[in-house]
Chains A and B, each alone.
Chain A
């Protein structure tokens, strides 16, 4: 059974930093494109960014609102995905979901974690 468990959320001041982790199990992590999606309170889903497999170059892509501030990385030896968030803004307040593709190389998010809440407030 695929499991994705996010951690690292919490309260941070504007301008601060936070690193989220996502522990994966139940599938071959090294073969999966991994994605972060967020949802502000009472709002819709927003795609944050994705990291491809090492075999596909390990490249990352980001949504415009977070590009240059957020960094996605992965540790295939630990089956763990990371989201480093710097220069946080109040509008980054959201539940952050870790997702994996429905099939190897797929961008469609077939499996989701329960999410971790990040609150940016002074």
Chain B
């Protein structure tokens, strides 16, 4: 199972919106509504930001939103803030009853 494809880096100015894509296949992202997104700051454990494509865990800012079209899922961060600078990973359930992570995206706030 190959890793899902994410852009290596995305940047934006404070207040702007950015979108991170996560491209898989019909055997993972496109086949199931089980895509999750994680935020990881340096030296810290990842944090769940979005689950089941669209849903936000309690306590996660509504500036974070998820969507999916075909084999590509997306994470949008609106009203970008300095604290959003981190690595972001998508993850999808697969047809093999396993999960696969994306390659990861470094978000830089300019």
Contact = CB atoms under 8 A, between A and B. Distances in A.
Interface size class of A (residues with CB under 8 A): 20 to 34
Nearest to B48: A110
A102 B59 CA distance: 13
Interface in A71-111: 97, 102, 106-110
B45 A115 contact: yes
Interface stretch (B15-23, B67-75, B76-84, B94-102): B94-102
B45 A45 contact: no
A49 B103 CA distance: 18
B46 interface: yes
B93 interface: yes
A102 B45 CA distance: 15
Contact of A109 (B3, B38, B97): B38
Chain A interface main SS type = strand
B98 A102 contact: no
A72 to B, nearest CB: 12
Nearest to B37: A108
B45 A114 contact: yes
A47 interface: yes
Nearest to A35: B99
Interface stretch (A10-18, A22-30, A56-64): A56-64
Interface of B: 1, 3, 34, 36, 38, 40, 45-48, 51-52, 57, 87, 89, 91, 93, 96-104
Given A45-B104, A61-B98, A102-B48, 4 more contacts: A35-B99, A44-B104, A108-B34, A110-B48
